[in-house]
């Protein structure tokens, strides 16, 4: 199986290569096979990417918003037409099953392009009357934005960052995770085909060092990172040195609270989606499932029965419901967390080990019950198919325990009592919440975290604030009244 791109990078409207850069092997996680070999961007290529973005951005910002919108909408149409091929490539890059990549990854990227195309012409300023004089405001582009992506939703992340950036007149230089570098190159090709002028969306490959070079360059106005909290701290600090704008979409350890009166089937289904989709490699997952004691046994019975039926297998097989983890590194990390959970006394309900399938990085969907707040499994982000079920008695107790974490990305509540649903969500410290649903992230809704889980928001109208800045213009309509 091969998925070798034309070249490693995409700069100024064309593929670019410099074999002096360190090699990056792209591995198909279902078999361990090398499917492509790329090179990290050298400093000269990073410079070219930023220079071409800076050149192109000025004219783009001066382009009518409806024209920018038309190009983004065309890109969305091309993505939808090619979705089967793009989904297959996403599956090779990430190991996620076609059942997911066909409906979630590129389709949600196309949604973002369409949504921000729609918003582009609606971005307007204000007029502020001051008697004789007045002030008007303009919402202007920031300039060159850098996007740095995680490996779990590589193409969605590239679209979620580039769509608002481009819609509002910015250019973007995007660095995918070196683990999943292929999708962003496809997006760059599609943008050119849709009519985007060269330089406005450049892709440079590399590890953290390339990301750091981008985040500290004086030509860069904004850095948007999706990644872990430790990386977020580093990138935030690097951006701060240049007083750059940031959006930080970081990790989580989100609570999903199930009250006694909830529908067991719905709550179990949501907990499974919020722990096993993408083999658990989703930042907003509800990995601390708090179940009220009265419903606990029924919840665990149905959870065990339904989890046992999850079909692991070849991600390219339409029937497969769960694929491997993204890499050998991630496999080791997740198996380590499972071993720690066992040694700390969590009760294994199902799963609990590696799944022997080819030589891929598969882990069985795993559920632990009787998890307590102090256990490592309840405190650290695992990023694998490992669910922790905790018990609780009262509403006040569960709210305080749910909030007892450095993270604040997401939270969910299942209850038939809607008053309670709103009351509880109102007290949870999290940026993205659900009542009687979990992990649905339509582009219309702002997405992001509080506390250590991040700053800024992606998607929704909120993104306008994060990819534009206000210019305030005072207009004097009479003589200047100077005292000297
Ligand atoms: P990492 O934090 O390891 O990496 C994120 C990106 O940052 C990668 O492209 C990485 O490059 C790059 N990077 C690493 N060091 C630096 C640096 N010093 N300066 C600039 N860039 C750097 O995250 P993962 O890729 O492992 O992704 C998993 C994490 O992402 C999880 O914590 C998850 O919760 C979070 N995430 C958050 C989401 C959200 O929206 N809140 C959504 C999805 C994931 P490379 O890896 O190539 O070295």
Q: Which of 90, 178, 249, 381 is labelled catalytic? A: 249
Q: Show Cβ contacts of residue 79 under 8 Å, excluding neighbours closer than 6 positions.
A: 86, 106, 107, 109, 110, 113, 159, 190
Overall pTM > 0.95: yes
Ligand 1 site, CB within 6 A: 148-152, 175, 177-178, 207-208, 211-212, 215, 225-228, 231, 234-235, 249-252, 283, 381, 383, 409, 449, 454
Pair 32, 99: CB distance under 8 Å? no
* Partners of 366 in beta bridges: 386
Taking the centre of ligand 1 as the mean of its atom positions, its distance from the CA of residue 187, in whole angstroms, is 20
Verify whether residue 433 is a known catalytic residue: no
Q: Which atom in ligand 1 lies closest to the alpha carbon of residue 175? A: 9
Q: Which of 90, 100, 114, 458 is labelled catalytic? A: 458
Verify whether residue 161 is a known catalytic residue: yes
Cα separation of 44 and 386, whole Å? 43
- By most ligand atoms within 8 Å of CB, the mutation choice from 152, 227, 409, 458 for ligand 1 is 227
Verify whether residue 395 is a known catalytic residue: no
Pair 408, 402: CB distance under 8 Å? no
What's the token pair of residue 333? Answer: 């990390």
Q: Which of 96, 161, 222, 296 is labelled catalytic? A: 161
Taking the centre of ligand 1 as the mean of its atom positions, its distance from the CA of residue 472, in whole angstroms, is 36
Taking the centre of ligand 1 as the mean of its atom positions, its distance from the CA of residue 287, in whole angstroms, is 19
Provide the 10 A C-beta neighbour count for residue 305: 11
pLDDT at 467: 98
Verify whether residue 2 is a known catalytic residue: no
pLDDT at 413: 98
Tens-digit pLDDT profile for residues 276-305: 999 999 999 999 999 999 999 999 999 999
pLDDT at 464: 97
Taking the centre of ligand 1 as the mean of its atom positions, its distance from the CA of residue 257, in whole angstroms, is 28
Query: Burial code of 450-478, b = ≥16 C-beta within 10 A, e = fewer?
Result: bbbbbbbbbbbeebbebbbbeeeeeeeee
| Spans in the chain with pLDDT lower than 70 | none
Nearest CA to ligand 1 atom 4: 227
pLDDT at 1: 85
Cα separation of 115 and 159, whole Å? 11
What's the token pair of residue 433? Answer: 């919440």
Q: Which atom in ligand 1 lies closest to the alpha carbon of residue 229? A: 32
Taking the centre of ligand 1 as the mean of its atom positions, its distance from the CA of residue 226, in whole angstroms, is 6
- Strands 14-16 and 9-11 come out as antiparallel
Q: Which of 40, 145, 222, 283 is labelled catalytic? A: 283
pLDDT at 100: 98
Nearest CA to ligand 1 atom 48: 207
Taking the centre of ligand 1 as the mean of its atom positions, its distance from the CA of residue 249, in whole angstroms, is 9
Q: Show Cβ contacts of residue 237 under 8 Å, excluding neighbours closer than 6 positions.
A: none
Provide the 10 A C-beta neighbour count for residue 62: 9
């Amino acid at each position: 199986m091969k998925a070798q791109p034309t070249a490693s990078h995409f700069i100024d409207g064309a593929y670019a290569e410099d074999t002096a850069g360190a090699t990056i092997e792209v591995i198909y996680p279902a078999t361990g096979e090398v499917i492509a070999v790329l090179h990290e961007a050298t400093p000269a290529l990073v410079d070219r990417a930023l220079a071409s973005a800076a050149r192109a951005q000025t004219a783009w910002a001066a382009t009518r918003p409806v024209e920018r919108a038309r190009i983004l909408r065309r890109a969305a149409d091309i993505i939808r037409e090619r979705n089967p091929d793009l989904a297959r490539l996403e599956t090779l890059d990430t190991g996620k099953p076609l059942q997911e990549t066909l409906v979630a990854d590129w389709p949600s990227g196309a949604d973002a392009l369409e949504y921000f195309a729609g918003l582009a012409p609606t971005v307007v300023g204000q007029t502020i009357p001051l008697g004789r004089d007045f002030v008007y405001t303009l919402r202007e582009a920031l300039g060159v934005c850098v996007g740095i992506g995680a490996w779990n939703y590589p193409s969605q992340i590239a679209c979620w960052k580039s769509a608002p950036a481009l819609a509002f007149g910015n250019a973007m230089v995007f660095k995918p995770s070196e683990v999943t570098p292929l999708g962003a190159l496809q997006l760059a090709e599609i943008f050119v085909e849709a009519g985007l002028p060269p330089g406005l969306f450049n892709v440079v490959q590399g590890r953290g060092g390339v990301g750091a070079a981008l985040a500290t360059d004086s030509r860069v106005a904004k850095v948007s990172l999706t990644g872990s909290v430790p990386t977020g701290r580093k990138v935030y600090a690097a951006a701060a040195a240049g007083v750059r704008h940031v959006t930080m979409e970081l990790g989580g350890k989100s609570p999903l609270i199930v009250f006694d009166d909830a529908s067991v089937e719905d709550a179990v289904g949501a907990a499974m989606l919020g722990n096993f989709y993408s083999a658990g490699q989703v930042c907003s997952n509800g990995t601390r499932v708090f179940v009220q004691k009265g419903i606990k046994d029924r919840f665990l019975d149905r959870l065990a029965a339904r989890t046992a039926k999850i079909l692991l297998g070849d991600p390219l097989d339409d029937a497969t419901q769960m694929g491997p983890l993204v890499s050998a590194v991630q496999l080791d990390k997740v198996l380590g967390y499972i071993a720690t959970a066992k040694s700390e006394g969590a009760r294994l309900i199902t799963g609990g080990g590696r799944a022997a399938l080819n030589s891929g990085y598969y882990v069985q969907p795993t559920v632990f019950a009787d998890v307590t707040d102090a256990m490592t499994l309840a405190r650290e982000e695992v990023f694998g198919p490992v669910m922790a079920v905790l018990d609780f008695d009262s509403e006040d107790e569960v709210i305080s325990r749910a909030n007892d974490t450095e993270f604040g990305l997401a939270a969910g509540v299942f209850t038939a009592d809607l008053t309670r649903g709103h009351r509880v969500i109102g007290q949870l410290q999290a940026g993205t919440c659900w009542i009687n649903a979990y992990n649905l992230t339509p582009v219309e809704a702002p997405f992001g975290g509080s506390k250590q889980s991040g700053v800024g928001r992606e998607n929704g109208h909120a993104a306008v604030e994060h990819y534009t800045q206000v210019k305030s213009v005072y207009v004097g309509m009479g003589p200047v009244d100077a005292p000297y």
